[in-house]
Structures are given as structure tokens and as C-alpha cells.
């Protein structure tokens, strides 16, 4: 059974090869990203396995269907890169890995928060240069601070609990209330504007949807404290990057740690050293001493990669065998038959 595996990276290959010992699928590792232009590379596969930067717009999805693909197996939690209306229209099953390791992402969010605040990344480089001065490295205690968590689902909840353990007061904005978190002494469910006005740290953990696109924009930045630190391990487009650039230039916020970026698609996961960076916003962001950018690596732990590989292959296995894929792993089920597609 052939599986076209787009946007393959070395960091994940061994995990998939190990997990595939159980199934023996004929995995075709393709380095190219999936798009309408490259979709024909999947010819002969009923399943395409895709990652966060593969672009499954309506043209691509229609092309996949035309060449006989029936199943899009995302090896990620987020699915904002798939045109779901088109997948539905073309009767394609879309599956994902809903929770491969929320700990990996939450712990990384804490990591970049502390690194940015305590300037550990600057200190590391300084000391290697035999510069042992402490000037310019002053941070703040997390203890006693108000930490805003935008989206307290699997990842946000773990992040919130770590912040509680640090002695913070947690302000949560979420459309759904988690009863366990809500019962915590130092947790308060509030609206988004309240988080923006009150928080010393704001960390984003909502999925990217039409409702959350540019959730943090000029209007929200205007509400924030000058001392606020913004953390984004969710999706780049949760923040309006141009608005972020403006508040950084005007020194209206204290800093930002970003594992994701709005226009990361053709940049992140690639070695572009020695090349010209054509994205002026990212280029400018990288010049700020109070901005820490990482290349969408929050998920990158051994445990997460093992879970991604085993869950993705089990999703594919179930589909091939005609068994139901677990409901929490289905983004779009196949509901139309070929006749209804014609109507
Ligand atoms: P989840 O589905 O468990 O939690 C999302 C939370 O956001 C839920 O509590 C939900 O009620 C809330 N929410 C949804 N729409 C909202 C809205 N419009 N306003 C307020 N709250 C809203 O998702 P999980 O597993 O915690 O992941 C969150 C996101 O993290 C993913 O969607 C993905 O984009 C991102 N992610 C990033 C990774 C990285 O490596 N940087 C890795 C994995 C996920």
C-alpha cells in the first residue's frame, strides 16, 4: 500500500520507519511540499501524508481527488492548511494527530518565555565571547505575575499549570471552561480585553481559525501593558505581524518569543543560511534584541515524534482496512458518495 509522504524531514524519517515495522506500508518519502503544482507526485497513493506547511487549497484537494487520493493524513494537530470545504466536497477523509505531546509544546513555551525574560540566549553568546558582564541582562521574577493564557485546551492547560507552579496568577481566555482549571485558586476565566489589559505575560494556544486570525492586532496591542511579554507557539497568523512590528519599534511591549510566524511557510524547516531572506517583516523582527524566534520546533521531542508516527500510521491503517478512525482524529469524514458529488 503506497503512501505519498510530502515535505519529509530527516528529523522524523527514522521515527516513521520504526513505526512502519508494524504495518509495512510502501512509504514514498518526498522532500517537496504538497501544493496544486506537486499533487501529481501522489499518483498511485490512496493516502497522502502531509505536514503543517503543505498547502492543501481547493485546487490541490481537487487535483488529489482527480488522481485517486481518498485520504489526507495530517501528521500534525493543526489543520488550518487544508481547505476543509473542498475536502468535504471532494469526499476526502482528513485525519490528524490531535495530541502527540502537549507537554512538548507547553514546556517549550515556558522555555522561550524564560529565555526571553532572563536573556539566556544573549548570555550564552556573550560568555562564549569571554564577555562576562551582566549589564543588559536584567529580567523579572515570574512569581507573582499575571500570566494570560489564550486558549486553555490540551497545551494551554499544561502551560497554565506550570505557570501556577511558578507562583503566577493565571488569566484564561477561552470559549470553553475547563472545570479542573476553573477550580484552581489562582485561575480566573476572563475576556480577551481583560487579558490584554492586565497580563504581564500572554501566551497563545488557540487553533488558527477564521475567528482567531489576527486575534492579536493593533487594537489588542493598544490595550497591553508596556511591560508585557508575548509568547506564540500556536500559529503565526494569530498575531498581525505588521502590528507586532509597530509595537516593537515604538517600544510599546517588552518583547516577543515566537515559535511560529505568519509567513513561515517557505522559510521555516529549511536551511537558508547563505541565502537572501526576502521576508522584510521577519528580517526586521530578527533585529530586535527583545525578540526570540525559533523555527516551529515546540513539538520536537522524541516522545512527540514517536506518537506522531504511530498515530498517523494507525489512522492510515484503519482507513485502508475499512475500520472507523477514532473520532478525535477525524477532521473531515467521508460523507458524500460519488453520486452526491455529481449533484
Ligand atoms: P486544543 O483543541 O486542545 O485547545 C484549543 C483551545 O482553544 C480549546 O480550549 C478551545 O476551546 C480554545 N479555542 C478555540 N477557538 C477559540 C476562540 N475563537 N477563542 C478562544 N478560545 C478558543 O488544542 P491544543 O492541542 O492545545 O493545540 C493548540 C494549538 O497549538 C493547535 O491548534 C496548533 O495550532 C498549535 N500547535 C503548535 C505546535 C508547535 O510546534 N508550535 C505543535 C502543536 C500544536
Ligand 1, atom nearest to 76 Cα: 43
Residue 96 CB less than 6 A away from ligand 1: no
Contact at 8 Å (CB) between 264 and 239? no
Q: Is domain 102-293 in CATH 1.10.1040.20, yes or no?
A: no
Residue 154 CB less than 6 A away from ligand 1: yes
Helix, strand, coil distribution of the chain in percent, nearest 5? 40, 15, 45
Domains 2-100+302-336 and 102-293 share a fold: yes
- Give the pLDDT band (50/70/90) at residue 78: confident
What is the three-class DSSP state of 324? Answer: coil
Q: At residue 336, does pLDDT exceed 80?
A: no
C-alpha 104 – ligand 1 centre gap (Å): 14
Point out the catalytic residue in the list 264, 265, 341, 342.
Answer: 264
Q: At residue 174, does pLDDT exceed 90?
A: yes
Which among 213, 282, 293 is positioned nearest to 260, based on CA atoms? 293
The pLDDT of residue 48 is 98
Q: What is the dihedral of CA 41, 44, 47, 50, to 10 degrees?
A: -10
CATH class (in words) of the domain with range 2-100+302-336: alpha beta
The pLDDT of residue 339 is 34
Q: Is 235 a catalytic residue?
A: yes
Q: At residue 235, does pLDDT exceed 50?
A: yes
pLDDT digits (tens, 9 = 90+) for 94-147: 999 998 999 999 999 999 999 999 999 999 999 999 999 999 999 999 999 999
| 154-165 vs 102-118: helix crossing angle, rounded to 10 | 50
The pLDDT of residue 153 is 97
Contact at 8 Å (CB) between 149 and 159? yes
Burial 193-225 (b: 16+ CB within 10 A, else e): eebbbbbbbbbbbbebeeebebbbeeebbeebb
Residue 259 CB less than 6 A away from ligand 1: yes
Placement of cell 490512496 in the chain: 46
pLDDT digits (tens, 9 = 90+) for 202-217: 999 999 999 999 999 9
Q: Is 33 a catalytic residue?
A: no
Q: Is 284 a catalytic residue?
A: no
Q: Residue 126 is placed in which grid cell? A: 556573550
Q: At residue 340, does pLDDT exceed 70?
A: no
The pLDDT of residue 338 is 39
The pLDDT of residue 343 is 28
The pLDDT of residue 41 is 98
**Average pLDDT of the chain to the nearest whole number:** 95
What is the three-class DSSP state of 307? Answer: helix
Residue 195 CB less than 6 A away from ligand 1: no
What is the full DSSP assignment across 53-70?
A: T--B-HHHHHHHHHTT--
What is the three-class DSSP state of 131? Answer: coil
Point out the catalytic residue in the list 71, 235, 262, 314.
Answer: 235
The pLDDT of residue 335 is 65
Instruction: Please report, for the chain, the start and end positions of each structural domain, with discontinuous segments joined by +.
Output: 2-100+302-336, 102-293
Q: At residue 341, does pLDDT exceed 60?
A: no
CA distances to 18, 178, 202, 239, 251 from 175, rounded to whole Å, are 39, 10, 17, 18, 31
The pLDDT of residue 342 is 33
DSSP letter (8 states) at residue 207: P
Residues sharing a CB contact under 8 Å with residue 341, sequence separation 6 or more, in sequence order: 89, 90, 91
pLDDT digits (tens, 9 = 90+) for 321-335: 999 999 999 999 986
Residue 153 CB less than 6 A away from ligand 1: yes
Amino acid at each position: 500500500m503506497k503512501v505519498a509522504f510530502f515535505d519529509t524531514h530527516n528529523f522524523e524519517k527514522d521515527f516513521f520507519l520504526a513505526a512502519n515495522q508494524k504495518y509495512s506500508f510502501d512509504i514514498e518519502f518526498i522532500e517537496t511540499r504538497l501544493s496544486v503544482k506537486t499533487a501529481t507526485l501522489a499518483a498511485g497513493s490512496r493516502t497522502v501524508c502531509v505536514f503543517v506547511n503543505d498547502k492543501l487549497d481547493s485546487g490541490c484537494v481537487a487535483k488529489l481527488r482527480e488522481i485517486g487520493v481518498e485520504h489526507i493524513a495530517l501528521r500534525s494537530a493543526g489543520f488550518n492548511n487544508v481547505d476543509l470545504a473542498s475536502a468535504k466536497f471532494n469526499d476526502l477523509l482528513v485525519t490528524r494527530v490531535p495530541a502527540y505531546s502537549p507537554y512538548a509544546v507547553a514546556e517549550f513555551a515556558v522555555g522561550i518565555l524564560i529565555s526571553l525574560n532572563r536573556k539566556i540566549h544573549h548570555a550564552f553568546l556573550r560568555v562564549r565571547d569571554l564577555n562576562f558582564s551582566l549589564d543588559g541582562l536584567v529580567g523579572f521574577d515570574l512569581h507573582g505575575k499575571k500570566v494570560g493564557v489564550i486558549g486553555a485546551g490540551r497545551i494551554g492547560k499544561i502551560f497554565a499549570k506550570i505557570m501556577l507552579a511558578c507562583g503566577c496568577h493565571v488569566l484564561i481566555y477561552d470559549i470553553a471552561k475547563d472545570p479542573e482549571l476553573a477550580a484552581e485558586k489562582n485561575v480566573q476565566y476572563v475576556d480577551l480585553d481583560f487579558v490584554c489589559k492586565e497580563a504581564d505575560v500572554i501566551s497563545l494556544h488557540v487553533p488558527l481559525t477564521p475567528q482567531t486570525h489576527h486575534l492579536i492586532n493593533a487594537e489588542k496591542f493598544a490595550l497591553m501593558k508596556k511591560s508585557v511579554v508575548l509568547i506564540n507557539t500556536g500559529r503565526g497568523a494569530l498575531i498581525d505581524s505588521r502590528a507586532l512590528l509597530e509595537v516593537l519599534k515604538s517600544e510599546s511591549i517588552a518583547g516577543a518569543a515566537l515559535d511560529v510566524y505568519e509567513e513561515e511557510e517557505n522559510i521555516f524547516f529549511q536551511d537558508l543560511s547563505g541565502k537572501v531572506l526576502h521576508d522584510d517583516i521577519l528580517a526586521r523582527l530578527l533585529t530586535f534584541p527583545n525578540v526570540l524566534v525559533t523555527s516551529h520546533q515546540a513539538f520536537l521531542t522524541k516522545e512527540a515524534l514517536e506518537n506522531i508516527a504511530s498515530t498517523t500510521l494507525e489512522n492510515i491503517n484503519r482507513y485502508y482496512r475499512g475500520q472507523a478512525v477514532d473520532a478525535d482524529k477525524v477532521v473531515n469524514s467521508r460523507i458524500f458518495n460519488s453520486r452526491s458529488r455529481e449533484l
